Every structure is written in C-alpha cells, then in structure tokens.
Structure 1
Amino acid sequence: MDDKHMQIGEVAARTELSLRTIRHYEETGLVVPSARSQGGFRLYAETDVARLMVIRRMKPLGFTLDEMRDLLQATDRLDAADLPEGEREGLLDRVRKYQQAATQKIEDLRVQLARAEDFAATLRTRLGQDTSATPS
C-alpha cells in the first residue's frame, strides 16, 4: 500500500470520527476517498483528512450537511487553478459568510456556556449551604 494513503481506521483515529460517520459523509458526498485498494478498501490522503477536519469543526457549530457541502465546494473551487477574478470574489464572499456565521455561533455558545457555569455554581452554593446546615 502507498504510504501516502491511509485506511479508514487510521483516518477515524486521526479525526476522532467513527467509521460510520466517515462512511455517512462519503454517502452524502462530503468526502470521497482518494483511492481504493486492490481489495476495495477505502484509501484516504492528507487532503481527505483535512476535509474531514473541516466537517468535524463545523458540526458542533450546528452547520447543516448542505452548508458543509457548500463551503467545501467553495473552498475546492478556490483551490482550482486559473480561476476567473469575478468568480474568485464571489467564492470569497461565500467563505466570508461562513466565517461570520461561525463567529456568531461561537459567541452564542459562549453565552450558553456562561449560563451553564452560573447554573453549576448555583448548585455548588446550594450544596454548600445544605452541608453547613446539617448537624454534626
């Protein structure tokens, strides 16, 4: 096997995604293995791993599969040689919109995290009050 390619198990370990999830992303067209072994096993390259990492980072921010696909198509096209300037600007605008959406989603998560931390602190305080009120 070519040492530039990895089987799905190694990719799963590197990306911390399950085999099932990687196969699902393949079925939905988000990632396509770069090659297949003679035995038919999926073989992935570093570019495939990088693509899966983009997907993995988008998922907890609540991006849909269609949004992931759109962003990946835009970045794939930006990587293409001989891209007309007008098309390039349109693609960069698409990527900028995802960057702005990601920034907003991160801020929303920070607010949720602060509320969750406040709630946990309230519970700790309550437990501390109950412990001190218990007779020895």
Structure 2
Amino acid sequence: MQIGDVAERTSLSLRTIRHYEEVGLLPEAQRSPGGFRLYTEDAVTRLLLIKQMKPLDFTLEQMREILDVRQRLASPRCSDKTRAGLQATLEDYQRLADDKLTELRRKVEHAEAFAAHLREPLS
C-alpha cells in the first residue's frame, strides 16, 4: 500500500513515516515502478507499535531494539536459548513501560489538580 494509505490507517504524517524509515524503525519500503513507496501490513503493525511507544518516551534505540526483539521472537528459526534471552529483554522493557506509565499517571494527577485550582473562583 502507498504511504498515503499507511498515513491514513496509522494517523501518522507522511513526514513521520518517512522519518521512521530513515532512522531504521521501519524496513526500507519497496518502490513501485513509478517510484512510490510501497508498505506491507507488517510495516503498518510496526508503525502502530511505534505510536504506542512514543508517549512513553522510549528512545529511538530502545524502540529499534523492542521491534527487533519482537521480530526475532516471531521467527521459527529462533532457538530456545535465544528465545529465553529475548523474552527477558522484553520483560525488562515491560517493567520500564510500567514505570513510565506510573510516572505519566502521576503527571496527569498533578495536571488535573492544577486545572481544578484554575477553575476555583478568585477571592
């Protein structure tokens, strides 16, 4: 599918999709005979996952590693020993995501308290 279709399905801008490809979060898109980028369903899935990681402030390198680990785990050639190490890496990232989510919730509580304070009548 072309980049415009991907942008519509993911609610990401064309520029953002191109950027993620340039920094290696997406594999390089195939090109149509006319030179248009062509993306797969897997690319859409990756973009949606990246979109979920973004609010948690994962770095590009962390996102790249998470995507790589998930792809390697999905491979039928992944040995049991390798699989155990990859699953441990994902568990570490799960804990990190939980910590980041806790921090986001704390920030939301503070923002809500501040908004409530602003709604109070001035005396």
The answer to whether the Cα contact below 8 Å between 1:30 and 1:69 also exists between their aligned partners in 2 is yes
TM-score normalised per structure 2: 0.94
Q: 1:52 to 1:14 in 2, by over 3 A?
A: same
Paired residue total: 123
Q: 1:49 aligns with which of 39, 44, 60?
A: 44
Instruction: Give 1:32 shift.
Output: 2.0
1:22-61 → structure 2 map (5 Å cutoff): 22-61=17-56
Q: Which amino acid aligns with 2:95?
A: Q
Task: State the SS of the aligned residue for 1:38.
Answer: coil
Instruction: Give 1:84 shift.
Output: 1.0
Q: Quick one: percent identity of the two aligned structures? A: 50
- Could you report, residue by residue, the CA deviation over 1:89-116 in whole angstroms, capped at 9, with x for unpaired residues? 0000111111111111111000000000
TM-score normalised per structure 1: 0.86
Is 1:96 matched with 2:91? yes
Higher Rg: 1
Q: Take 2:99 and 2:105, find their aligned partners in 1: how far apart are those partners?
A: 10
Post-superposition, which runs of at least 4 consecutive aligned residues in structure 1 deviate over 3 A?
none
